[in-house]
A and B are shown apart, each in its own frame.
Chain A
Amino acid sequence: MAQIVTLAEAISAAIRDGDTVAMEGFTHLIPHAAGHEVIRQRRRDLTLVRMTPDIIYDQLIGAGCTRKLVFSWAGNPGVGSLHRFRDAVENAWPRPLELEEHSHAGMANRFAAGAAGLPFAVLRGYRGTTLPAHTAGVADIVCPFTGETLTAVSALRPDVAVIHAQRADAQGNVQYWGISGVQKEAVLAASRSVVTVEEIVDRLDPRPGAVVLPWWAISYIAVVPGGAHPSYALGYSARDNDFYQAWDAISRDRQRFADWLDEHVYGRAAAGHASRSVTAC
């Protein structure tokens, strides 16, 4: 049942050291403020799951929160590499990073299987690639009806899913629209969930293509206006492309990254996310 709390309370209650955490969002609605709160609370040994880890995961990796990454595409979209991720993989800094990598179709189906309460999902995928040689949770499976060989991928069952949404109502029903990614599946696959929202409204009037997650399927809701920045919330904010560009230089250098974390994450309260702008980088 959804409890409406502060962001610091939500992260503190939902995420423990060693947890498997999926902070989802496909370019749109990425829960940056929640990720920063995880860094501020100095969670350790997390297994982070996400289809498209981008700069918030780069920050969580560089800050030393992360033991393992489960993913399908790790990059700064439209810009280039994730330098903290690469430094962890190529140089084990600040600590070694275990990888489990899949394709997007595989990850999407693994979340869907988790949401459906099934141990695995079936798809046409991975065959002929080098991925299965390095990745647990991928296996051939024969269709009992046609005899065709297909691919099975194991279900994802994170301890916690974290997402950002446009809004919730006072009862805790959550509504989001625009590019909706795999957030519904992530929340339903997880044991606990944290949703940050732009605002709480009296009534959720219908929106084209909107997803509504009912109050009883969510653990914690925190109001964090601008909580997706530098990602965006359709109808509320625009994607801060300049920050994604700027991140390339900030993240290349360990010291510059550490200084950035000190100033913009450790040095701020959870409520400070909304005021961040590109000039702050």
Chain B
Amino acid sequence: MLTYTADEMMTVTAARSLRNGMTCFVGIGLPSEAANLARATHAPDLVLIYESGTIGSKPGQVPLSIGDGILAETADSVVSVPEIFNYWLQPGRIDVGFLGAAQLDRYGNINTTVIGPAYDSPGVRLPGAGGAPEIAGACKEVTVVLRQSRRTFARQLDFVTSVGFGDGPGSRQRLGLSGGGPRLVITDLGVLRPDPDTCELVLTGIYAGVPVSRVQENTGWDLKVSAELAEILPPTEAELAALRDLLASRSPAASPAAPAPVAPAPVAAAGVGD
């Protein structure tokens, strides 16, 4: 019996969401792992774009940082940072923005700045915005990858760093955000998509062995479940092997990934496939 972790299920699911030939603006961490897995499996012509200015990078391993030399050495083009944001991202040329988050709300808005109680006296100071606000604004669509818990799936964000659907339908248009906003949120428990009428994230996909009640318990708002809730196929042997190869190719000190500043969701049933 194939055994795998909830994180592996999440990364494989995120990789599957990328189609061959797409252009993908890749965020640091989990999104970068998933995008590189997609390139190593079903999407060899996926165009990876990093905010360090590398366009069409083809790293053979997961880079530790978004500015690793391998990204420049394997790129089709390397441009300056003002150029990557102004000429490539801002006009809406990029198909999908692949982002992580520390906190997310029901409208897919993202916080990566501070966790309570106040901006000037935060409980936890996070790294801040980086490229995310404009990636979330301008890409044709956005996918968010993060571990799910009541802390990360918050009823109310302490800070809106990047806008998903703002406060609901019509927000993006009012704010002049040209891209389509979040299309997918992929976690270690399942997959959420925005309801087309309310823009609220609803549970549309669930992993084998994870009860719906557990996803709801790990959500800080009253999570709605789609009438067409689907079970997501477990990783194939080939997907798992490719992912493990990718992660093993990093320097030993670089793996496993360092813990996120916000405590990750408890992953009690890590081997959900057994």
Residue numbers of A with Cβ under 8 A of B are: 26-28, 51-52, 71-75, 77-82, 85-86, 89-90, 101-105, 108-109, 111-112, 123-131, 134, 148-150, 178-182, 184-185, 209, 232, 234, 238-239, 241-242, 244-245, 248
Contacts and interface: CB of A to CB of B under 8 A. Distances in A.
Contacts of A232: 69
A44 B29 CA distance: 35
Contacts of B162: 129
B178 A124 contact: yes
A202 B109 CA distance: 54
Contacts of A180: 53, 78, 80-81
B227 interface: no
A131 B157 CA distance: 13
Nearest to A85: B125
30 contacts: A26-B67, A26-B81, A28-B69, A72-B129, A73-B129, A75-B127, A77-B64, A78-B29, A78-B254, A80-B258, A101-B128, A103-B132, A104-B130, A104-B134, A108-B82, A109-B85, A112-B86, A123-B86, A124-B134, A129-B161, A129-B163, A131-B129, A134-B119, A178-B69, A178-B73, A179-B71, A234-B69, A234-B73, A238-B69, A245-B254
A105 B90 contact: yes
A104 B85 contact: yes
B82 A77 contact: no
B86 A109 contact: yes
B138 interface: yes
Contacts of B259: 80
Given A90-B122, A180-B53, 12 more contacts: A74-B128, A79-B64, A80-B258, A104-B51, A108-B85, A130-B113, A131-B161, A134-B119, A148-B176, A149-B176, A179-B69, A245-B254
A78 B138 CA distance: 25
Nearest first, the 7 A-B pairs at minimum CB distance are A27-B67, A75-B127, A77-B65, A73-B130, A78-B64, A128-B163, A105-B85
Interface of B: 28-29, 51-54, 63-69, 71-73, 78, 80-82, 85-86, 89-90, 113, 119, 121-134, 137-138, 159-163, 166, 171, 175-178, 251, 253-254, 258-261
Contact of B80 (A82, A127, A181): A181
**By CB atoms of chain B within 10 A, which of A51, A130, A150, A242 has the most?**
A130
B81 A181 contact: yes
B130 A179 contact: no
Contact of A27 (B66, B166, B176): B66
B177 A81 contact: no
B118 to A, nearest CB: 10
A179 B163 contact: no
A126 B177 CA distance: 10
A88 B52 CA distance: 27
Contact of A209 (B78, B161, B163): B78
Contacts, number: 188
A94 B198 CA distance: 48
Contacts of B66: 27, 77
Contact of B258 (A79, A148, A179): A79
Contacts of B81: 26, 51, 104, 108, 180-182
Nearest to A102: B129
A223 to B, nearest CB: 22
Nearest to A149: B176
A130 B166 CA distance: 11
A181 B52 contact: yes
B260 to A, nearest CB: 8
Contacts of A26: 52-53, 67, 81
A134 B125 CA distance: 14
Contact of A234 (B51, B72, B131, B134): B72
Contacts of A123: 85-86, 90, 134
A103 B86 contact: no
B68 A185 contact: no
B261 A80 contact: yes
Contacts of A245: 253-254, 258
Contacts of B163: 127-129
Contacts of A103: 129-134
B251 to A, nearest CB: 5
B154 to A, nearest CB: 14
Contacts of A71: 128
A184 B119 CA distance: 33
A71 B85 CA distance: 16
